Amino acid sequence: MAELLQVQGLGIGWGAQLIQRDLNFSVQRGEILAIMGSSGCGKSTLMRHLVGLEQPRQGHVWLDGADIHQGEESELSQLRRRFGVSFQGGALWSSMSVGENLMLPLRLFASLSERAMVQIAEFKLALVGLQDCFHQAPATLSGGMIKRVAIARSLMLNPELLCLDEPDSGLDPVNAARLDQLILSLRQDLGTTVILVTHSVPSVFAVADRALFLDDRLKTMTAIDTPTQLLTHGTARVREFLQRGPGA
Ligand SMILES: Nc1ncnc2c1ncn2[C@@H]1O[C@H](COP(=O)(O)OP(=O)(O)O)[C@@H](O)[C@H]1O
Ligand SMILES: [Mg+2]
């Protein structure tokens, strides 16, 4: 089956408030899908629902045909382990070395020897171009390097689907472009499917096969298509977003 993730009639919210509704889309295997929209429209909230951390108000999310919100807790946690997640502003533990930060998911979810864990961590660091940073303290790294380490950590359990929430926030344009290249190379080298939450228009054009737009006024998605198609045929708000950026 080419579809890895399916979202059907999804409604998401906090408390009594419904933030987005009638979300319908699927993510193909090997695809990079961008989720975009202005600040506060619900991108991070949607991501938390897609990986099973929050319970939907309406609708379903299926991974490979299995509902990630309904079923036995043991089965659900198996399903959720197939996601790699890097949260918005997700920090590293400052008291641990980079290598220890990476090995944490393995200590929690796998039973491997110390030597095996170190090898996996070194391999993931090499994937993000930081092979020499294993013993470094997070405080000694630049902002761009920390984002790379966070991505390496989200790869530790070999996820089929990588969910990155604004991985380039706070980076200068050069480092943001490097991060885009990293995302493309992960897809190419590992075949990882990626959901990229972003409000960076350059990033959408650089990496996304398709993008969906969450409209904060209409409280639903108004488009899903290739970035180029959206720029010419999207709704007025989508075109405005793509032409002027999220501040428009
Ligand atoms: N943990 C939470 N509890 C209650 N409301 C929240 C929580 N997280 C986000 N919200 C609210 O949900 C809305 C969408 O937030 P968010 O998903 O973070 O938007 P975005 O990531 O697009 O900037 C906002 O109104 C925000 O205040
Ligand atoms: Mg957010």
What residues have a C-beta under 5 A from ligand 2, the ion? Answer: 43-44, 88
Nearest CA to ligand 1 atom 8: 45
Residue with CA closest to ligand 1 atom 27: 40
pLDDT at res. 247:
59
Query: Can you tell me the distance from the alpha carbon of 223 to that of 233, in angstroms, rounded to the nearest whole number?
Result: 10
What pLDDT score was predicted for residue 1? 55
Q: Of all atoms in ligand 1, which is nearest to the CA of residue 197?
A: 21
Alpha carbon distance 108, 77 (integer Å):
13
The model's pTM is 0.93
Collect all residues with Cβ–Cβ distance below 8 Å to 75 and sequence separation of at least 6.
66
**Pairwise CA distance, residues 171 & 153, whole Å:** 19
How does pLDDT run along the chain (248 residues), one tens digit per residue? 589 999 999 999 998 899 999 999 999 999 999 999 999 999 999 999 999 999 999 999 999 999 999 999 999 989 999 999 999 877 899 999 999 999 998 998 888 999 999 999 999 999 999 999 999 999 999 988 999 999 999 999 999 999 999 998 888 888 899 899 999 999 999 999 999 999 899 999 999 999 999 999 999 999 899 999 999 999 999 999 999 876 54
CA atoms of 150 and 226, how far apart (whole Å): 27
Residue minimizing CA distance to atom 3 of ligand 1: 14
Among the atoms of ligand 1, which is closest to the Cα of residue 42?
Answer: 17
Q: What's the CA-to-centroid distance between 39 and ligand 2, angstroms?
A: 7
pLDDT of amino acid 248: 44
Residues paired with 34 in a beta bridge:
196, 211
Taking CB atoms and a 6 Å cutoff, what residues make up the pocket around ligand 1? 14, 19, 37, 39-45
Ligand 1 atom with minimal separation from the 199 CA: 22
Q: Are 186 and 127 in contact (CB under 8 A)?
A: yes
Give the 3-state secondary structure of residue 12.
strand
Beta bridge partners of residue 101, listed in sequence order: none
Structure tokens at 179: 């991060």
Instruction: Determine the residue of 23, 44, 165 to mutate for testing ligand 1's pocket, defined as the one with the most ligand atoms within 8 A of the Cβ atom.
Output: 44
Measured from the Cα of 47, ligand 1's closest atom is 17
CA atoms within 13 A on the CB side of 44: 11
The predicted structure's pLDDT at residue 170 = 84
Nearest CA to ligand 1 atom 24: 40
The ligand that comes nearest to the alpha carbon of residue 167 is 2
Q: Which two tokens stand for residue 119?
A: 């090898």
Which residues pair with residue 61 across a beta bridge?
Answer: 7
Distance (Å, rounded) from C-alpha 63 to C-alpha 236?
A: 32
CA of 225 to the centre of ligand 2 (A): 21
In terms of DSSP bridges, do strands 66-67 and 17-28 run parallel, antiparallel, or are they unpaired? Answer: unpaired
CATH number of 1-82+197-248: 3.40.50.300
Nearest residue to 195 via CA among 181, 178, 207: 207
145 vs 167: CA distance, rounded Å:
11
